[in-house]
């Protein structure tokens, strides 16, 4: 799995666990719904750490919690 897919999958899983829609996550995090959708659907190839931090704030988790998900345990190398 690549990093972009891992980030998207982690966001989807966390939203499901917390009962949040994409739109509600956007509102809670102060990130535009179009930005969240771009991350989730692969249009944003490299979401910034500040954006991910804002999403974590909306999810009420830390960056450490976000990146400790199983999605990040076996990432493929980005440089090939």
Give helix 33-40 / helix 22-29 axis angle, nearest 10°. 120
Tens digit of pLDDT for each residue in 17-30? 999 999 999 999 99
Domains and CATH numbers, the chain: 3-67 (1.10.260.40)
User: What would the pLDDT profile of 28-70 be if each residue is shown by its tens digit?
Assistant: 999 999 999 999 998 988 899 999 999 999 999 999 999 999 9
The answer to whether 3 touches 80, Cβ cutoff 8 Å, is no
């Amino acid at each position: 799995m690549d990093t972009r897919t891992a980030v998207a999958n982690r966001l989807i899983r966390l939203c499901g666990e917390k009962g949040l829609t994409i739109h509600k996550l956007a509102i809670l995090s102060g990130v535009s719904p179009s930005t969240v959708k771009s991350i989730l659907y692969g249009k944003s190839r490299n979401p910034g750490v500040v954006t991910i931090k804002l999403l974590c704030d909306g999810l009420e988790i830390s960056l450490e919690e976000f990146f400790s998900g199983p999605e990040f345990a076996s990432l493929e190398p980005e440089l090939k």
